[in-house]
Chains A and B, each alone.
Chain A
Amino acid sequence: MGGLTTAMFLFLIASGLSLVFGIMRVINFAHGSFYMLGAYLAWQGVQWFHPTGIGFWAASLFAACVVGVLGAVVERLFFRSLYGREELYQLLFTYALVLILGDVAKFLWGTDQLSVSTPPVLVGSVQIFGSTQPLYNLFIMILGPLIAFGGWLVLNRSGVGRMVRAAQMDREMLDALGANVGTIYTGMFVFSSFLAGLSGALVTPIQSIVPGMDVLIIVQAFIVVVIGGMGSFWGTFWGSVIYGEVLSFGILIFPGFSLFSVFALMAVILIVRPWGLFGRPL
């Protein structure tokens, strides 16, 4: 059960990463930084909107939107000119963002641990299958699959989704057919950043906000995306479940080597099926 909560959080973060990779073929290291900014902004929002009632929810939405706007700026100003360039430059560009955003967060919010209290509605815990679960974790466990289902619905059952999938398959063809590929790319990047910001905000009640949470989370999100298959929504979902369970069972079976086991899993999957369990070959 503990594994599942971790898994659903990771899913929220990794789904954005996976989307951007699936469409733009870019590994976005800055995704972790967006997540961290989401957490800090949520804390800031809670200070502003008062820590009662609607405060936390407004703050989360605020954080996600600000990060989404930041994503738009980054895509329009910088990323756009890197699409034709080699992967190396794209990787390093997102790494430059990691460095810069990390320091911006340090500058604005300092290096102390910050924390946000659980919204009053979700304080307390419930009994499920004989184990006690905090209500907030349960909320996340429901929200995760909901977003996965929603994302799948939009991608596979709507006009916008069809465009996105077309961009994923053949960018030039779609462009030639008159679709505005640039807008689709920006939109996907914004949505991905929004998800990163939202997950950062939602994690604040159960995890304290510290500098360095960006580089820690991005590696985990990578593993999830690699396991599930980049660009695949359900793949990312199952990837997070596998990751969460391997990590928590790994701790039970050989404590100390659970970290090792998830990285090893990532390596094995890259060796055997580089495009992931649910993805398609490039």
Chain B
Amino acid sequence: MTGDTTTAATPTATPAAPAGRVIGSGSSVLSRIPWTLIIFLAACAVPWIGTRYNTFLAEQIAIDALFAVSLNLLLGTTGLVSFGHVAYFGVGAYVCGILMKTYELPFIIAFPAAGLGSALFALVSGYFCVRLIKLYFAMLTLAFSQIVWAIAYKWNDVTGGDQGLPEIPFPNLDWMNSIPFLSDLKTAEQFYLLTVFLIAVSLAVLHRIVRSPFGRILTTIRDNPERAAFIGVNVRLYQLTAFIVAGAFAGLAGALYGIFSRGVFADYVFWSKSAEVMIMTILGGMDYFWGPPVGALVLVWLNQAITDYTEYWPFVLGTILLVLLFGFPGGILGGIDALWTRVRGMRRA
């Protein structure tokens, strides 16, 4: 046991925790700064102020952030431990990739289609998953994600099998050339801007969902499903809806990732990827809406920094995970939050 001070950040210990907590919510100075706007503008500026490599990293962080936030709608908000979230990411990547490469459809059709395809698959698989209790839920999601993997890996005619779908085209971004400042960017950088914009919109929508009455009910279900059912909430329907929304946004992230990495491969859908995005979510702090993006930022950056020195990245990741599980179950934001509360308490005393 690591002591009760650290476990206080877990959802079970604080049943009344809102769906997305805000750090230092009592402080007027910090909460008045429009953090999200600053981060969005900073992300947009990366192609001009950073190197091509920085842009590459930033794009990966942004996509992972959306993926992890979509998982957290299940994990942190609704309390559903999905161990197969990568399935919906993969379906989105494949739908978008196949439509754009094989059928040569424009991005404006393929992108929403990816979200729709993932949502549909989430509807079908989620219909069965939400009927099961915790551990069985995790295993059925894992089974569905492995089904997707098996299909991706073997259905050569459509998914390219183990060769994957290489060389997915960039969307047609010629319209950006008519805008000053944007015209001298390379296509990859223009696509980066598009990605950042789409992800910002998606995150805003997800944020609205978490803060809406619907999101509050999801949190109620997380804290006490029996009580939620007792006050007249259709628990399964709400869980299924959350599952579909999470799947749809994971699909959008997957669609962007397929284009960003210039190909879709069966490896994307293997079960260990689900564990990776889960680590991101928990590393950042799953009690916070902005936890998963922080986790994505730290993990992607750390991955790059460490693989420069050693090939044993999984070892480092495993060690981080151990420290996290035993030392900081609330994640990075949970740790900062606890520290912040303590500092304020000292100032007051």
Identify the closest chain B residue to A93 (Cβ). Answer: B325
From B143, B147, B279, A92 is in contact (CB under 8 Å) with: B279
Q: Please tell me if B205 contacts chain A, counting CB pairs below 8 Å.
A: no
CA distance A22 to B202 in the complex (A): 42
With contacts A88-B75, A100-B314 taken as known, whether A259 is within 8 angstroms of B154 at the C-beta atoms is yes
Contact, CB under 8 Å: B140 / A270: yes
In the complex the two chains form, is B275's CB within 8 Å of A93's CB?
no
A271 and B133 CA atoms in complex are apart in Å by 11
CA distance A222 to B135 in the complex (A): 13
Which residue of chain A lies nearest to B12 when distances are taken between CB atoms in the complex?
A86
What's the tally of chain A residues with a CB closer than 8 Å to chain B?
Answer: 41
- Please determine whether A25 and B321 come into contact, CB atoms closer than 8 angstroms: no
A-B contact count (CB 8 A): 114
* A-chain residues with CB within 8 Å of residue B292 when the two chains form the complex: none
- With a CB–CB cut-off of 8 A, which chain A residues contact B326? 78, 81
Within 8 A of A (CB), among B298-342: 312, 314-315, 317-319, 321-322, 325-326, 329
Q: How many residues of B contact A (CB 8 A)?
A: 46
Contacts of A271 in B (CB 8 A): 128, 131, 140
Which one, B12, B271, B322, contacts A219 given CB within 8 A? B271
Decide yes or no whether B193 CB sits under 8 A from chain A.
no
Instruction: Pick the contact of B144: A97, A106, A267, A274 (CB < 8 A).
Output: A267
Contact of A226 among B139, B279, B314 (CB under 8 A): B139
Q: Is the CB of A25 within 8 A of B318?
A: no
Residues of A within 8 A of B143 (CB): 223, 226, 263, 266-267, 270
Q: Confirm or deny: A154 has a beta carbon within 8 angstroms of a beta carbon on chain B.
A: no
Q: Which residues of A contact B322 (CB under 8 A)?
A: 78, 93, 96, 100
A257 to B279, CA, bound (A): 31
Chain A residues proximal to chain B, CB less than 8 Å: 25, 27, 78, 81-82, 86-89, 91-93, 95-100, 102-104, 106-107, 215, 219, 222-223, 226, 256-257, 259-260, 263-264, 266-267, 270-271, 274-275, 282
Binding site for A on B (CB under 8 A): 1-2, 10, 12, 75, 81, 83, 128, 131-136, 138-140, 142-144, 146-147, 150-151, 153-156, 270-272, 275, 278-279, 282, 312, 314-315, 317-319, 321-322, 325-326, 329
